[in-house]
């Protein structure tokens, strides 16, 4: 399938590793110029060194929870590459609470990282896309928006649900400018975030409740993101795509039936 991304410019926020890195890699494979960010410059330099083997990469270390650095970065990218065609808001973190209640700093962290970063990203992209008469924004939510992560990362799900609503809201606001806004909702994916936050026991439990019986690889999330951002998805906007290996349907215990053994699994 022709994705129509050759020589386009793609921004991926939070791309020194994990899903964001894989998204940057897929855009480069399609012939895009790519701009990436993360907070830790050393990891960004390493990532950009690897990604540069595939095409032109611009990187800048910044904290996506602060608005001006995000807007300045968009300006840099636009001046350097002449346009911004695709923008992915991938920054997010589980945002745990240490005690029974969220403290103010813990609450600020999860709201800023999961929600405000996406708002700043949408607004930064819009500044340049409206001038050029179009573009695509893809927000990264989480299956936790649909299946609550109660008890530990309690507010991660609500913030990721807000990202889904933000997608539809911005799609309505930006459609007059030829800008599509989309969302991808990943299930558990093999990334540094998951490896450092989720126990092996919990991952195995989750795999048992997933139709495809395994976690996703980062590129399995990245490819749908790049598809949605591409010309091949030109009639899709205000849409959230769940990429979870069939995790949410199994919340109905009789959904998956093994005919061979005559049992629900």
Whether 235 sits among the annotated catalytic residues: the reply is no
> DSSP secondary structure string, 137-192?
EEEE--GGGTS--TTTSTTHHHHHHHHHHHHHHHHHHHGGGTEEEEEEEE-SB-SH
In the numeric block, the tokens 């993101």 are attached to 225
Query: Which position among 156, 235, 255, 264 bears the catalytic label?
Result: 156
Smallest distance from ligand NAP to CB 180, Å: 20
In the DSSP assignment, the letter for residue 90 is -
Q: How far apart are CA 67 and CA 84, in angstroms?
A: 18
Q: What is the distance in angstroms between the CA of the first residue and the CA of the last residue of the chain? A: 35
- Reported in sequence order, the residue ranges of 116-255 that DSSP labels E, i.e. its strands, are 135-140, 179-186, 239-243
Q: Rounded distance, CA 225 to CA 196, Å? A: 24
DSSP 100: S
Q: How many residues does the chain have?
A: 265
The region of 1-9, 71-79, 135-143, 229-237 touching ligand NAP under the rule CB under 6 A is: 135-143
Spatial separation of the C-alpha atoms in residues 155 and 263, rounded to whole Å: 36
User: 3-class SS at 256?
Assistant: coil
Among 35, 74, 92, 157, binds ligand NAP (CB under 6 A): 92
Among 103, 192, 208, 217, indicate the residue that binds ligand NAP (CB under 6 A).
192
* Part of the chain binding ligand NAP (CB under 6 A), chosen from 3-11, 63-71, 167-175, 228-236: 63-71
- Nearest-angstrom CA–CA distance, 236 and 180: 7
Q: Is 38 in the site for ligand NAP (CB under 6 A)?
A: yes
Please state, in angstroms and rounded to a whole number, the distance separating the CA atoms of residues 237 and 181.
Answer: 5
Residues 215-254, mask of contacts with ligand NAP (x by CB under 6 A) = ----------------------------------------
Query: Binding segment for ligand NAP among 34-42, 73-81, 98-106, 173-181 (CB under 6 A)?
Result: 34-42
The answer to whether 64 contacts ligand NAP (rule: CB under 6 A) is: yes
| Tokens 């611009």, residue located | 58
Residue 39 lies near ligand NAP (rule: CB under 6 A): yes
* Shortest CB 258 distance to ligand NAP, Å: 26
Contact between 157 and ligand NAP by CB under 6 A: the answer reads no
Q: Which two tokens stand for residue 142?
A: 């989480």
By CB under 6 A, residue 162 contacts ligand NAP: no
Q: How many CB atoms lie within 10 A of CB 79?
A: 9
- Nearest approach, Cβ of residue 211 and ligand NAP (Å): 16
Q: Which is nearer to ligand NAP, 191 or 248 (CB)?
A: 191
Least distance (Å) between residue 263 CB and ligand NAP: 29
Of 48, 78, 136, 142, which one interacts with ligand NAP (CB under 6 A)?
142
Can you give the binding site for ligand NAP, defined by CB under 6 A? 14-20, 37-40, 43, 63-65, 90-93, 113, 140, 142-143, 186, 188-189, 191-194
Catalytic residue numbers read 156
């Amino acid at each position: 399938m022709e994705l129509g991304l050759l020589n386009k410019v793609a921004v991926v926020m939070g791309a020194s590793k994990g899903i964001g890195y894989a998204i940057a890699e897929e855009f480069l494979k399609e012939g895009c110029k790519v701009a990436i960010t993360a907070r830790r410059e050393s990891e960004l330099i390493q990532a950009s060194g690897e990604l540069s083997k595939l095409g032109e990469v611009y990187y800048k270390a910044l904290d996506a929870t602060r608005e001006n650095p995000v807007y300045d970065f968009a300006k840099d990218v636009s001046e350097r590459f002449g346009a911004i065609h695709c923008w992915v808001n991938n920054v997010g973190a589980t945002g745990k609470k240490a005690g029974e209640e969220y403290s103010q700093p813990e609450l600020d962290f999860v709201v800023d990282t999961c929600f405000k970063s996406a708002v700043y990203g949408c607004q930064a992209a819009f500044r340049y896309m409206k001038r050029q008469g179009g573009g695509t924004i893809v927000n990264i939510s989480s299956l936790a928006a649909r299946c609550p992560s109660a008890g530990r990362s309690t507010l991660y799900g609500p913030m990721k649900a807000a990202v889904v609503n933000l997608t539809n809201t911005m799609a309505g606001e930006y459609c007059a400018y030829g800008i599509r806004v989309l969302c991808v909702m990943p299930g558990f994916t093999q990334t540094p975030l998951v490896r450092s936050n989720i126990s092996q026991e919990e991952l195995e439990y989750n795999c048992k409740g997933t139709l495809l019986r395994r976690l996703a690889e980062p590129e399995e999330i990245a490819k749908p993101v790049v598809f949605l951002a591409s010309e091949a998805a030109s009639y899709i906007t205000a849409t959230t795509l769940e990429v979870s290996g069939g995790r949410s349907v199994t919340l109905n215990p009789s959904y998956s039936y093994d005919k061979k053994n005559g049992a629900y699994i």
